A and B are shown apart, each in its own frame.
Chain A
């Protein structure tokens, strides 16, 4: 399956230096603190990170769904097919939401309306954006449910969400997201609440739909296993910033940031039996009281004094592979693990400011 993945170059969504802060009880939480990433056409991009790292907030800000107040997009831009979504008013945003960008949420039961039938809810997504006759709408909804693999779709249209299983509800959510043939689907942990076998079904479904309709998918997850199975490119987030980015191979084979390395090493598996699991000490910092300098330094085994003071720059390792850890980048010991083309040179001048996502 990995082989089928190819890279595509045209950027569809480009987020630059996005900052989203939340104000609560007089504290200012820097939930998203200057992240940049891009999603190209027909590509699956994953944002991985632990809870509270700001991945959901990033997704919600793309759709303009950040509750304001307490939230506020302080800085940055979100360019989607040439438009800056942050500057758009609510009315133009509504034309984009569901129509060009749609979202699949983690918890299908709370995202579906319990008092409306499945048919009503999918239908609503369609006729909000399209002029369509009732009969054609019905046929279209049946077709959608069929596409997402729900058996006897005609009968299911008159069912209520509680009558469906978790996996089926998630399929309905995907059908709704597909309703207007969007260019980009944002999936926020769509399989977290599901069993592994159902998760595998949903992932296979997402992948086949993406191929058939040639859409882009922005997939948000904390599960590295899932991410490895579907991603073209991966962004690793920690405490509101991107700490590493690269394609799936680069991240899983040669992770460069101590956090990514730690995450991968701390995954339990049968082959690690008898050995002590690597664990990252401490816990994710509170977004209102982030450490100065590199936010990961209190948990990092490579940290030196300067990590406490200087905010780390993105360092280029290879084509498309960047990590925000100048210390490891400079250290000599790091060369041994099949490195960046430029590692032999002096570090000065190699540490470049990361500008766009690519």
Chain B
């Protein structure tokens, strides 16, 4: 999935990323098998753009996020951030890069220290950047809170005093405190109400325009992803099965899984009838397949060859790739 646009440099390039978790069995905890949580995942995120990572729960989205943030060590593959392969960096070498990649979590309450005031939480990041003087720190704190759409007076209050949407704003201010270039948003609006969700999405968009941030946007909500993302990777069982610009994913999906996933979204437009193309089974069922396509048991167009051959990415359009030979042939 090399980026077509050569002058737009990808800020993050992931190549063949793998993470297997061992399954222990029995008294001696012998390794009995492996869960291939992330299996040969590759994608690019361009500077100032948003890539969406969608898929059902258990497909490995969050593991990808943790690998990129180096909260987990990958087993194989490269994570090239701003031209440096950080995948094998030691803790010390990683330090200057840590602040460049930040995360916004799904549950803003669980990710803020309940015993620290909002000001203290955010100031931690500012201090790391090397702002020694308290006055400059306070000034920066005020700026950050304002950027996130909060009033600077709230710095002495504690996380429990805020609503979900406000906490998510604080989480965003905190992520911004170290001046990152890439923010991993792990389901940042899933826990919020519809009316608040729109506020946070607008905020994320505004910040991207102002600061030139790049986002890796992880979500199971395809409507949100379609709205905010420039490109989308659809993940299934540790694999990316389709990658394309958002419009192409929604208007011309190729992979049978993407098609089924899109058909499952209930559309609030009364002019559209809802035709669900259901697939049987669920994510994780196909861990047993050592050979062939991961989606073979749920696929509606499966053939004998799908059960043997390893699926490779096929190009079906401008910057549009699909991991299904049948879908690629039909274009």
Contacts and interface: CB of A to CB of B under 8 A. Distances in A.
B275 to A, nearest CB: 8
A267 B268 contact: yes
8 contacts: A1-B273, A50-B194, A225-B268, A228-B270, A252-B268, A269-B223, A270-B246, A284-B193
B319 interface: no
A51 interface: yes
Contact of A195 (B57, B196, B228, B268): B57
B56 A197 contact: yes
B167 to A, nearest CB: 11
A280 interface: yes
Contact of B265 (A204, A225, A262): A225
A197 B260 CA distance: 8
B268 A228 contact: yes
A229 B226 CA distance: 20
Contacts of A253: 270
Given A229-B266, A268-B228, A270-B226, A277 B193 contact: no
Given A51-B193, A197-B56, A284-B193, A279 B268 contact: no
A222 interface: yes
Nearest to A52: B193
Given A51-B193, A283-B165, A200 B264 contact: yes
B86 interface: no
B interface, over-half SS: helix
Contacts of B160: none
B227 A197 contact: no
Interface of B: 56-57, 163, 165-166, 193-199, 201-202, 205, 220, 222-224, 226-228, 246-247, 250, 260-261, 263-270, 273-274, 276, 278-279, 282-283
Interface string A279-298: 11101100000000000000
A268 B274 contact: no
Contacts of B274: 1, 229
Interface residues of A, number: 46
Contacts of B199: 279-281
B193 A222 contact: yes
Contacts of B194: 50, 222, 224, 263, 266-267
Contacts of B226: 268-270, 273
Output the residue of B195, B265, B269 with the most chain A CB within 10 A.
B195
A249 interface: yes
A230 to B, nearest CB: 8
A117 to B, nearest CB: 21
B249 to A, nearest CB: 9
A106 to B, nearest CB: 14
A interface, over-half SS: helix
B266 A268 contact: no
A229 B272 CA distance: 10
A264 B56 contact: no
Contacts of B201: 268, 277
A203 to B, nearest CB: 7
A249 B273 contact: no
A266 to B, nearest CB: 4
Across the A-B interface, give the 8 residue pairs with the lowest CB-CB distance, nearest first: A268-B227, A266-B198, A270-B226, A279-B198, A225-B266, A50-B193, A200-B264, A280-B195
Interface in A171-212: 195-201, 203-204
Interface in A242-262: 248-249, 252-253, 262
A197 B261 contact: yes
A242 to B, nearest CB: 17
Nearest to A299: B195
Contact of B250 (A197, A268, A270, A299): A270
A196 B55 CA distance: 9
B220 to A, nearest CB: 6
Nearest to A167: B282
A228 B267 contact: yes
A224 B261 contact: no
A86 interface: no
A165 interface: yes
Interface string A315-348: 0000000000000000000000000000000000
B270 A283 contact: no
A1 B270 CA distance: 11
Given A203-B266, A277-B198, A283 B260 contact: no
